[in-house]
Amino acid sequence: MRHHRRIPCPAESAGCGAPWSPVEDRVPLGIMSAPSTTPRPAAANSIWPRLEPLLPQVTKPIQYVGGELGAVVKDWDAATVRWALMYPDAYEVGLPNQGVQILYEVLNELPDVLAERTYAVWPDLETLMRAHGVPQFTVDAHRSVRDFDVFGVSFSTELGYTNLLTAIDLAGIPMLAADRTDADPVIVAGGHAAFNPEPIADFVDAAVLGDGEEAVLEITTIVREWKAEGSPGGRDELLLRLARTESVYVPRFYDVDYLPDGRIQRVVPNRPDVPFRVHKRTTMDLDAWPYPKKPLVPLAETVHERYAVEIFRGCTRGCRFCQAGMITRPVRERSITTVGQMVKEGLEFSGFHEVGLLSLSSADHSEIGDMCSGLAEQYAGTNVSLSLPSTRVDAFNIDLAQELSRNGRRTGLTFAPEGGSERIRKVINKMVSKEDLIRTVVTAYTNGWRQVKLYFMCGLPTETDEDVLEIADMAHEVIRAGRAATGSKDIRCTVSIGGFVPKPHTPFQWASMSSPEVIDNRLKLLKQAINSDRSLGRAIGFRYHDGEPSLIEGLLSRGDRRVGAVIRKVWESGGRFDGWSEHFSYRRWVDAANEVLPTFGVDLDWYTTREREELEVLPWDHLDSGLDKDWLWQDWQDSLSEYEQDDCRWTPCFDCGVCPSMDTEIQIGPTGKKLLPLTPVNGMKVPTGAHQH
What pLDDT sits at residue 300?
A: 87
- Burial environment of residue 146 by CB neighbours within 10 A (0 to 12, 13 to 18, 19 or more): buried
Structurally, at CATH architecture level, domain 47-257 sits in: 3-Layer(aba) Sandwich (3.40)
- Burial environment of residue 521 by CB neighbours within 10 A (0 to 12, 13 to 18, 19 or more): middle
What pLDDT sits at residue 692?
A: 35
Taking CB atoms within 8 Å and a gap of at least 24, the contacts of 10-14 are 10/390, 10/414, 10/415, 10/416, 10/453, 10/455, 10/496, 11/389, 11/390, 11/391, 11/412, 11/414, 12/303, 12/389, 13/303, 14/92, 14/93, 14/303
* Digit-coded pLDDT (tens) for 67-76: 999 999 999 9
Average pLDDT, integer, range 619-634: 96
Between β-strands 206-208 and 248-249, what pairing exists: parallel, antiparallel or unpaired? antiparallel
d(CA 171, CA 31): 11
pLDDT tops 50 at residue 689: no
What pLDDT sits at residue 432?
A: 85
pLDDT tops 50 at residue 23: no
**CB-based contact 55:137 (threshold 8 Å):** no
What pLDDT sits at residue 408?
A: 62
Q: How confident is the model at residue 681 (pLDDT cuts 50, 70, 90)?
A: very low
d(CA 209, CA 194): 6
Kindly write down the DSSP assignment for every residue of 101-162, as one continuous string.
Answer: HHHHHHHHTSTTEEEEEEEPPPHHHHHHHHHHTPPPB-TTT-BBGGGSSEEEEE-SSGGGHH
What pLDDT sits at residue 386?
A: 87
User: What is the four-CA torsion angle of 431, 434, 438, 444, rounded to 10 degrees?
Assistant: 20
pLDDT tops 60 at residue 687: no
Of 87, 88, 106, nearest in space to 97 by CA: 87
Least confident of 40-49, 475-484, 535-544: 40-49
* Digit-coded pLDDT (tens) for 315-335: 988 999 999 999 999 999 999
pTM of the model: 0.91
**Which letter does DSSP use for residue 383 in this model?**
S
Average pLDDT, integer, range 623-629: 94
d(CA 429, CA 422): 10
Q: How confident is the model at residue 662 (pLDDT cuts 50, 70, 90)?
A: low
d(CA 222, CA 200): 24
Q: How many CB atoms sit inside 10 A of residue 161's CB?
A: 28
pLDDT tops 80 at residue 525: yes
Q: How confident is the model at residue 394 (pLDDT cuts 50, 70, 90)?
A: confident
* Digit-coded pLDDT (tens) for 280-296: 999 999 999 999 999 99
Q: For residues 33 and 148, which has the higher predicted lDDT (pLDDT)?
A: 148
The fraction of the chain above a pLDDT of 90, given in percent, is 74
- Burial environment of residue 12 by CB neighbours within 10 A (0 to 12, 13 to 18, 19 or more): middle
pLDDT tops 60 at residue 9: no
Mean confidence (pLDDT) of the chain: 89
CA angle 200, 205, 210 (to 5 degrees): 75
* Digit-coded pLDDT (tens) for 188-245: 999 999 999 999 999 999 999 999 999 999 999 999 999 999 999 999 999 999 999 9
**What stretches of 611-652 show up as alpha helix (H) in DSSP?**
629-640
What pLDDT sits at residue 13?
A: 32
Helices vs strands, H then E, count in the chain = 22, 19
* Digit-coded pLDDT (tens) for 421-458: 999 999 999 988 899 999 999 988 998 888 999 999 99
**CB-based contact 284:658 (threshold 8 Å):** no
What pLDDT sits at residue 140?
A: 97
* Digit-coded pLDDT (tens) for 59-93: 999 999 999 999 999 999 999 999 999 999 999 99
pLDDT tops 60 at residue 357: yes
Between β-strands 492-499 and 186-190, what pairing exists: parallel, antiparallel or unpaired? unpaired
Q: For residues 261-273, b (16+ Cβ closer than 10 Å) or e, as one string?
A: ebbbeebebeeee
pLDDT tops 80 at residue 17: no
The fraction of the chain above a pLDDT of 70, given in percent, is 89
* Digit-coded pLDDT (tens) for 568-585: 999 999 999 999 999 999
